[in-house]
Chain A
């Protein structure tokens, strides 16, 4: 529940109360000599409608002011005679929160640097706990959501400031990662570093979910804890990893270029995914400019254009990962088919041979299946020696691929009957 205080000159009281009465909103008023205080208590989903109605007649612009605050309890409220809005905080409250968080200032810069220092240490020492700690203090959720909100509401200064903060934060993270890696004696790419250097579809899904979660957290009435961590998890480690990659390059570490390239791709994908998803979410929950239908239509058009642009860029940048994912599934499908075929073949033509282990690795690029077959036999004969070639020929003919068979033979002992 929210309370709204409207303070207007006495000569405007009638206009405001008429508007509230038309909305069937219950109010109390305290009339002073020059000004009147109108006190309204409404459920959260009506706040935006009430604020829009009073702003629409110049409160806050031309005269008077209004305040919105959390209300624990009110003995009397009414269900206004207005369309129930989405169960979310009002546009004004969201904007007020985001504007502060999106601003580039000393605290923001310092938080970015500290988060990047921790992330660098976490990545270089393979310490997940330190990496997670870095995500908790990273302040990037503000600028990212500010950019999306600036686009949805077509507020140029918010969008510009947020993009500036976002870029500055990322550059600080990259620079910090670089400087700290140069200062520290680490030269081995850890599994944490390598994980960010080889993005997969899992990273894309993570970024998409993080974007939606972040948007939900900011519009939600109930507080949602630590969603910024999800955003930071997608942004800070890849950014720092780029810096680590550059430092490794200068230190002559093998694979440094792959770390820089992979982390950059991951960072770009994550930024695009989070922004696209939060724009889409804000749009879907009905966040739009309140002052006029003209501005609403412009904002809709601009948001649509930018969203299409972001999604297109996202698809282009993530195309290699999506392609790799599709190829991966294709390879797994073929591997499974080869496995089933070999098992069927063996049971039909060599029922006396026991399959101990069968591993298949199919490379789509080389169009070759590497078959690692371990069998168990009780006696050794000529047909077993030619089994590798036989399976190779069978697979090659059936699947029109090249095959290479690695055959391991185990001799099985005879059963010993204990009298």
Chain B
């Protein structure tokens, strides 16, 4: 029986065997949607999408992987343009995306062309067009450098988080259709920022709340400093409990590390399903058990 599965992916801070899970799923009934929750614009107006870069790094076949060096970034730095530790490939993608967005061409076409030219055999889709831009402000209202924040600096200074151009962003029609038709939607280890992002877009929040299929959230193994800071700013406890409470109205089930079984008793007041899974990725067997667990849940 044909059952569409959609994976929502932000890629940032993810240390899961993403590709191993993908390989076990029927490719024809699978779509991967990029959540642009970390997208930002540099001072020079270059649109950087860390989640797209991460996704492409996962999906491009190894023989097609090019531009792993930092030559262009070095040139940029020497020209005093900006300091970005992006690989040549990532910078090229960012520049292409910037040009594409300025031309106001449909982003879904950009993704299609990218996938076909890079031999990506999975269906990858943008969530919003145009993607909004992440803005973080510090103590005195100064805009913080997102690149530095993602890299782990300036986190204590964050006081305010919002998205620029959120009102102009629309859910891509094809993505919307696929999400609506999906029997299962998997939030693949998305960060608290992405959950905040999904909740910030009224139409998307409503669509997820009304979605008739099952929405499963694969919880991260642990929270990074930035994740904790975001949860604190949003008035949730800065741990996995807070993250589950934050996402609980949008999801039906969470997959969690079976070692953290206290999650179940701590969150027993929430009407949500908890799937314990092995998060042992150190050995090949551990990875296989994890993949098997995720597949059982997705294909149930």
Which A residues form the contact surface with B (CB < 8 A)? 12, 14-15, 18-19, 22, 55-58, 61-62, 154, 156, 291-298, 301
Q: Does B72 interact with chain A (Cβ within 8 Å)?
A: no
Taking the complex as formed, is B182 at the interface, i.e. its CB lies under 8 A from any CB of chain A?
no
| In-complex Cβ contact of B276 among A15, A292, A294 (8 A) | A15
B251 touching A292, Cβ below 8 Å: yes
Listed from nearest, the 9 A-B pairs whose CB atoms lie closest are: A292-B252, A293-B271, A58-B275, A291-B273, A292-B272, A56-B273, A61-B300, A62-B275, A57-B274
**Assembly CA distance A339 to B270 (angstroms):** 68
- Evaluate contact between B297 and A292: CB separation under 8 angstroms: no
A12, A15, A56, A292: which has the most chain B beta carbons within 10 Å? A292
* Residue B209 is within 8 A (CB to CB) of chain A in the complex: yes
Determine whether the beta carbon of A296 is less than 8 Å from that of B271: yes
> Which residue in chain B gives the minimum CB-CB distance to A61?
B300
Whether the pair A294, B261 counts as a contact (CB closer than 8 A) is no
B149 to chain A, nearest CB (A): 31
Chain A residues contacting B265 (CB-CB under 8 Å) are 18-19, 22
Residues of A within 8 A of B215 (CB): 294
Write the B221-258 contact mask toward A (1 if CB under 8 angstroms, else 0).
00000000000000000000000000011111100001
Q: Which residue of A lies closest to B252 (CB)?
A: A292
Which residue of chain B lies nearest to A58 when distances are taken between CB atoms in the complex?
B275
Is B264 at the interface (CB under 8 A from chain A)? Answer: yes
The CA-CA distance from A387 to B91 in the complex, in Å, is: 110
- Is B14 on the interface with A (CB-CB < 8 A)? no
Q: Is the CB of B252 within 8 A of A61?
A: no
For A288, the closest partner residue in chain B by CB is B271
B275 lies within 8 A of A295 (CB): no
Smallest CB gap from A297: residue in B: B209
Flag if A62 contacts B297 (CB, 8 Å).
yes
Q: Cα distance A294–B261 when bound, in Å?
A: 23
User: Which of the residues A14, A294, A297 comes within 8 Å of B251, measured between beta carbons?
Assistant: A294
Q: Are A291 and B253 in contact (CB under 8 A)?
A: yes
Q: Does B210 contact A (CB under 8 A)?
A: yes
Q: Which of B211, B252, B272, B273 has the most CB of A within 10 A?
A: B273
Q: Are B261 and A15 in contact (CB under 8 A)?
A: yes
Distance in angstroms from B88 CB to nearest chain A CB is 43
Cβ contacts B281-300/A at 8 Å (1 or 0 each): 00000000000010011001
Q: Would you call A19 and B264 a contact (CB within 8 A)?
A: yes
Distance, CA A403 to CA B261, complexed state (A): 86
- Contacting residues, chain B, for A18 (C-beta < 8 A): 261, 264-265
Give the complex CA separation of A18 and B297 in angstroms. 23
Per the 8 Å Cβ criterion, residues 152-207 of B in contact with A are none
**Nearest-neighbor residue (CB-CB) of A299 within chain B:** B212
Q: Would A298 and B210 count as touching, CB distance under 8 A?
A: yes
CB contacts (< 8 Å) of A58 on chain B: these are 273-276, 297
CB-contact partner of A293 in B210, B212, B272, B297, under 8 A: B272
- Residues in B with CB closer than 8 Å to A19 are 264-265
Smallest beta-carbon distance A50→chain B, Å: 14
B96: CB under 8 A from chain A?
no
Chain B residues whose CB sits within 8 angstroms of the CB of A22 once the complex forms? 265, 268
10 CB < 8 A contacts A-B: A22-B265, A58-B273, A58-B297, A62-B296, A291-B253, A291-B272, A294-B209, A294-B249, A295-B214, A295-B252
Q: How far is the CB of A83 from chain B (nearest CB, A)?
A: 13
Chain B residues within 8 Å of A14, by CB? 261
Minimum CB–CB distance for B144 against chain A, Å? 34
A57–B211 alpha-carbon span in the complex (Å): 22
B115 contacts the other chain (CB 8 A): no
CA distance A19 to B261 in the complex (A): 10
Cβ 8 A contact of B273, one of A55, A154, A298: A55
> A292 to B253, Cβ gap below 8 A?
yes
Q: Cβ of A55: which chain B residues have Cβ within 8 Å of it?
A: 273
Which residues on A sit within 8 Å (CB–CB) of B114?
Answer: none
| Chain A residues within 8 Å of B271, by CB | 292-293, 296
Contact A57 to B264, CB < 8 A, known contacts A154-B212, A292-B272, A294-B251: yes
